[in-house]
């Protein structure tokens, strides 16, 4: 092949490579982000925080946010935070609610992945200051800028009417929010594992989910979340609301559900609730995706055009 042919082939190959790059650039937006949340009633007053951290939280890798109920105090939070960090290549921070006495709410979160913008407590559901105000944290994903609300609750157990009123107030509250919402916690809705779908459940479940304001992220396998020989029911839930209802659910499960784990019955060092977890695939924000998929192809297109101009000049010379 003469020098003219070599130049021509070389330029054409370069142009084809750049054209292929355009196809790749246009087809590959930044990958969607996975988010795993967990809910766990850690049974203050009936368990040991160190045992829970090392045996029940520590072995569960990959959880980005823990919503905890029945947290005794700040010392417990610090111990449980070390459990959340175990096996993770990230640090965790925590937020402890101020209500509930020795049965408080807390959030542990992966601070490498998430930024906590603000938090608040919904005192309107803490009737007379006798129970727990919902703990709500506004998070921002550091990679994408996506923002959402994460809520943890522990509703009344013994006062049925007041639990139902709490459910109604939370249903009304979420309809006033504009951000995606993930709500976890011990709701005491007593959803029977066998007959819950046929109505064997607390009315609070229906009041809370009325008009699909909240949607339950149903576990793949229904297992009682409370260690009891008397009840076979689910007390702990993961719900979503608003745009979070459009997030893809990759998994939802009751943890330590295998009878071989001997999780139940509990003893005076372990929790009498099973933790639950759900993993979501979050969509990319429209703005960041748009920037990623438009700027790169335009630059490559300019390079291809320049290569074509060079090819034409070579053929003319």
Q: Residue with structure tokens 């192809």?
A: 297
CA dihedral of 198, 188, 256, 77, whole degrees rounded to 10: 160
Q: Is the pTM of this model over 0.75?
A: yes
Pairing mode, strands 147-154 and 181-192: parallel
- Work out the number of other CB atoms within 10 angstroms of the CB of residue 176: 6
So what's the pLDDT on residue 306?
A: 63
CA distance 203 to 224: 18
> 286-316 vs 3-27: helix axis angle to the nearest 10?
170
Q: Which domains does the chain have, with CATH numbers?
A: 33-286 (3.60.10.10)
Residue of 121, 124, 190 whose CA lies nearest to 152: 121
Q: Residue with structure tokens 């609730």?
A: 273
Pairing mode, strands 33-41 and 65-71: parallel
So what's the pLDDT on residue 203?
A: 98
Residue 199 φ/ψ region, left for φ over 0, alpha for ψ in the -120 to 50 degree band, beta for the rest:
left
CA distance 240 to 180: 8
Q: Residue with structure tokens 């320049």?
A: 306
From first to last of the 317 residues of the chain, give the pLDDT tens digit.
Answer: 554 455 454 544 444 344 334 333 333 333 468 999 999 999 999 999 999 999 999 999 999 999 999 999 999 999 999 999 998 988 999 999 999 999 999 999 999 999 999 999 999 999 989 899 999 999 999 999 999 999 999 999 999 999 999 999 999 999 999 999 999 999 999 999 999 999 999 999 999 999 999 999 999 999 999 999 888 999 999 999 999 999 999 999 999 999 999 999 999 999 999 999 999 999 876 533 333 333 333 344 455 556 565 655 555 55
Residue of 154, 114, 116 whose CA lies nearest to 135: 154
Structure token pair of residue 71 = 């947290």
Question: What is the number of alpha carbons within 13 Å of residue 185 lying toward its C-beta?
Answer: 31
So what's the pLDDT on residue 284?
A: 74
Q: What is the pLDDT of residues 96-112, one digit of tens each?
A: 999 999 999 999 999 99
Q: What is the pLDDT of residues 120-129, one digit of tens each?
A: 999 999 998 9
CA distance 39 to 275: 6
Q: Exposure of 31 by Cβ count < 10 A (0-12 exposed, 13-18 middle, 19+ buried)?
A: exposed
CA distance 50 to 108: 16
So what's the pLDDT on residue 310?
A: 61
Structure token pair of residue 102 = 């020795």
**The three-state (H, E, C) secondary structure of the chain, written as one string:** CCHHHHHHHHHHHHHHHHHHHHHHHHHCCCCCEEEEEEEEECCCCCCCHHHHHHHHHCCCCCCCEEEEEEECCHHHHHHHHHHHHCCCCCCEEEEECCCCCCCEEEEEEECCCEEEEEEEEEHHHCHHHCCCCEEEEEEEECCCCCEEEEEEEECCCCCHHHHHHHHHHHHHHHCCCCCCEEEEEEEEEEEECCCHHHCCCCHHHHHHHHHHCEEECCCCCCCCCECCCCCCEEEEEEEEEHHHHHCEEEEEEECCCCHHHCCCCCCCCCCCECCEEEEEEECCCHHHHHHHHHHHHHHHHHHHHHHHHHHHHHHHC
């Amino acid at each position: 092949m003469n020098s003219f042919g070599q130049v021509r082939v070389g330029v054409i190959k370069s142009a084809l490579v750049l054209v292929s790059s355009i196809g790749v650039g246009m087809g590959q937006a930044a990958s969607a982000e996975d988010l795993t949340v967990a809910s766990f009633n850690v049974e203050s007053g009936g368990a040991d925080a160190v045992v829970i951290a090392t045996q029940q939280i520590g072995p569960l890798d990959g959880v980005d946010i823990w919503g905890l109920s029945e947290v005794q105090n700040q010392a417990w939070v610090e111990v449980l935070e070390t459990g959340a960090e175990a096996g993770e290549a990230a640090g965790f921070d925590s937020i402890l609610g101020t209500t509930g006495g020795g049965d408080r709410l807390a959030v542990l979160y992966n601070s490498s992945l998430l930024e906590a913008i603000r938090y608040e407590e919904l005192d309107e559901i803490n009737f007379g200051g006798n129970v727990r105000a919902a703990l709500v944290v506004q998070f921002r994903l550091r990679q994408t800028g996506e923002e959402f609300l994460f809520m943890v609750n522990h509703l009344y157990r013994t006062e049925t009417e007041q639990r139902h009123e709490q459910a109604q107030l939370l249903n009304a509250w979420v309809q006033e929010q504009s951000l995606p919402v993930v709500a976890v916690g011990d709701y005491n809705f007593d959803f029977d594992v066998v007959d819950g779908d046929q109505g064997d459940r607390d009315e609070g479940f229906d009041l809370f989910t009325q008009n699909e304001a909240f949607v339950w992220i149903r576990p793949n396998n229904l297992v009682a979340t409370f260690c009891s020989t008397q009840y076979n029911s689910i007390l702990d839930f993961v719900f979503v609301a608003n745009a979070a209802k459009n997030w893809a659910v990759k998994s939802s499960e009751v943890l330590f559900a295998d009878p071989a784990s001997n999780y139940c019955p509990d003893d005076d060092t372990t929790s009498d609730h099973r933790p639950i977890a759900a993993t979501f695939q979050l969509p990319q924000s429209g703005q960041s995706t748009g920037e990623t998929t438009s700027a790169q192809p335009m630059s490559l297109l300019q390079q291809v055009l320049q290569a074509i101009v060079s090819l034409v000049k070579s053929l003319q010379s």
